Amino acid sequence: MKLFARLATAGAAAGLLFALPTTATAAPPAAQQLTQHSTRCSVVWFDLGNTLVDTKAAGQMTWMAGAQRHLRQLRSVGVPVGLITNVPPEWGATDAERAAATKAYVDGQWAEADPFPWALFGDRILTPRTKAESKPALALFERGKSVASPCRSFYEGETPAEITAAEQAGLTGYLTGQPDQPAFIPLWRVLFPVKV
């Protein structure tokens, strides 16, 4: 009965959240979309390589264990997701150009039967404009927090230095893939964050 009560509470809270459109073309700018949420909303940002996508086998990118399920859970309760990922700044002059190059790079090596679900991220794909902005510098995390405002921002990644930087920039960090904890942040922590 306790589990049922928790699920019912989570479902009720999830109903307070509004799902963002999944395509960037038909939607207003990300910042405008996110400010349509209540001040209790959350946005979850991810690193890409070896957080969501396993890049260990050359030319054979696949899902990291549990990543696809985690994205589906977040989507099911209307939590917007985004990417904060390092790519070479010379891949494009704008975030949109670098995002397109990132998509092409991943798609060219994607080994799963179904394509990578880029539409989930809309135009929330942040990449460094210069080498100095590359993680673990604070710049991308600060941009992510600004885009998500007034919503709370979370960042999930596999690199401790990036988690530290994200938290310094005001995001809630979660180190993925640790043997002593869930592979990804538990959904209840996103829906009901506790300040300590």
pLDDT values of the chain reduced to their tens digit, one per residue, 196 residues: 333 333 333 443 333 333 333 333 333 344 334 434 444 699 999 999 999 999 999 899 999 999 999 999 999 999 999 999 999 999 999 999 999 999 999 999 999 999 999 999 999 999 999 999 999 999 999 999 999 999 999 999 999 999 999 999 999 999 999 999 999 999 999 998 766 4
Torsion angle defined by CA atoms of residues 129, 156, 158 and 126, in that order, rounded to the nearest 10 degrees = -10
What pTM value is reported for the model? 0.80
Question: What are phi and psi for residue 122, nearest 5 degrees?
Answer: 50, -130
Domain 34-191 has CATH 3.40.50.720: no
The single-letter DSSP state of residue 135 is T
Rounded to an integer, what distance in angstroms lies between the CA atom of residue 123 and that of residue 131? Answer: 21
* pLDDT at residue 155 in the model: 98
Rounded to an integer, what distance in angstroms lies between the CA atom of residue 52 and that of residue 118? Answer: 12
Cis ω on the peptide bond leading into residue 160 (within 30° of 0)? no
* pLDDT at residue 13 in the model: 39
Partners of 63 in the beta sheet? 53
Partners of 156 in the beta sheet? 46, 174
* pLDDT at residue 64 in the model: 98
For the chain, how are helix, strand and coil distributed in percent, rounded to 5? 40, 15, 45
* pLDDT at residue 181 in the model: 96
